[in-house]
Amino acid sequence: MKTKTPKPTSSRVRVTESSANVFADLGLPNPEMELVKARLTLQIYRIVRERGLTQVQAAKVLGIKQPHVSLLMRNRSGSFSAGRLLEFLTALGRDVEITVRPARKEHGEMSVRL
């Protein structure tokens, strides 16, 4: 049985360089805040896993219902504000520090340093 050799294609793949913020790349509203919330949610996930907490146990620590913990564990911050996510981190025994400094550009930026 003969195998066919694939023919080379001449079509070019179009590649767009990322802005380093998938939310901005997708054109979503408030992309900086969405990225901050995603990074905070990832930290909550890591701490819960590191401690070996069940979702029910994590819910008690965070003061929320288990289905909301389930959403957080799937990186779905949903209706939680960045402030509420920060409260979750302190409830999980983490110190949170917020620094405000002059912007290098006309419009400031938000970021999370871990």
pLDDT tens digits along 39-74 = 999 999 999 999 999 999 999 999 999 999 999 999
SS3 44: helix
Closest of 50, 46, 44 to residue 64, by C-alpha: 44
Look up residue 38 and give its two tokens: 């995603």
Quickly name the fold that domain 28-91 has: 434 Repressor (Amino-terminal Domain) (1.10.260)
Whole-prediction pTM value?
0.77
pLDDT score for 9: 64
Domains of the chain by residue range: 28-91
Between 78 and 45, the more confident residue is: 45
Mean pLDDT (the chain, rounded): 88
Distance CA 68, CA 109 (A): 29
